[in-house]
């Protein structure tokens, strides 16, 4: 069976990753989501096993020590990790798996699994990024200042990614991400076995 694609959407906080991720998965129900583990407290409306697996720091550390994560990162004083087994199972079953994670985690995945497709979502400007972070209203002043402070160095990491999408319009950015996934599916390198089998017959 042809292995699925692993697609990583990343970018700085405030780039609009969540919005674009949700729009892409809504348009492409065949894409499998990866549910992350986090030690952060659930926000209003967030559900266990739907948005995240919410775990204590101790539980997270145990999982990490057991080698259960494909990647892990500390993001704004909370720990996050992608459980490895379900991702590899979905890929082996031929499913395309789509994640939304931070930049450090995306870089770890590229190292461990170089055939992944990594997309960097770029805000149209630094001012817009700051405005979006403030407008979200989900962070306190301290957390907001940290996010704004680290955004500049995060932006500079775009070169580690395969694709860049400028998100000045979420609909257009969503369309571009969907087009990237479609083009990646058509790459010769990803279809060689199927072609060779056809030619054998």
Residue ranges in 10-29 that form contacts with ligand 5GP under rule CB under 6 A: 13, 17
Report DSSP letters for 78-93, one per residue.
EEEEEEHHHHHHHHHT
Is the Cβ–Cβ distance between 54 and 161 less than 8 Å? Answer: no
- Binding part of the chain for ligand 5GP, among 74-82, 89-97, 113-121, 182-190 by CB under 6 A, reads 74-82
Residue ranges in 77-96 that form contacts with ligand 5GP under rule CB under 6 A: 80-82
Q: Site mask, ligand 5GP, residues 107-136, x = CB under 6 A?
A: ------------------------------
Asked if 101 interacts with ligand 5GP (CB under 6 A), we say yes
Spell out where 76-197 has E strands. Answer: 78-83, 97-100, 117-122, 163-166
- Binding part of the chain for ligand 5GP, among 57-65, 102-110, 122-130, 167-175 by CB under 6 A, reads 102-110
Paired strand residues for 48? 52
The contacts of residue 157 (CB under 8 Å, 6+ apart) are: 103, 107, 120
Interface residue list for ligand 5GP (CB under 6 A): 13, 17, 36, 40, 71, 73, 75, 80-82, 100-102, 104-105
């Amino acid at each position: 069976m042809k292995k699925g694609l692993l697609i990583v959407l990343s970018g700085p906080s405030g780039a609009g990753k969540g919005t674009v991720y949700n729009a892409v998965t809504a348009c492409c129900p065949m894409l499998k989501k990866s549910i992350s583990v986090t030690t952060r407290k659930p926000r209003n409306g967030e559900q266990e096993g739907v948005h995240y697996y919410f775990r204590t720091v101790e539980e997270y550390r145990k999982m990490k020590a057991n080698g259960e994560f494909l990647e892990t990162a500390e993001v704004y004083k909370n720990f996050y990790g992608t459980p490895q087994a379900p991702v590899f199972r979905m890929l082996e079953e031929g499913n395309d798996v789509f994640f939304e994670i931070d930049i450090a985690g995306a870089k770890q995945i590229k190292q461990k699994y170089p055939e992944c497709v990594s997309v960097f979502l770029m805000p149209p400007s630094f001012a817009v990024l700051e405005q979006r972070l403030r407008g979200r209203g989900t962070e306190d002043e301290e957390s907001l200042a940290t996010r704004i402070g680290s955004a500049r160095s995060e932006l500079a990491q775009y070169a580690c990614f395969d694709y860049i999408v400028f998100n000045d319009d979420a609909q257009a950015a969503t369309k571009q991400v969907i087009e990237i996934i479609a083009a990646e599916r058509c790459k010769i390198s990803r279809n060689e076995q199927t072609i060779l089998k056809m030619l054998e017959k």
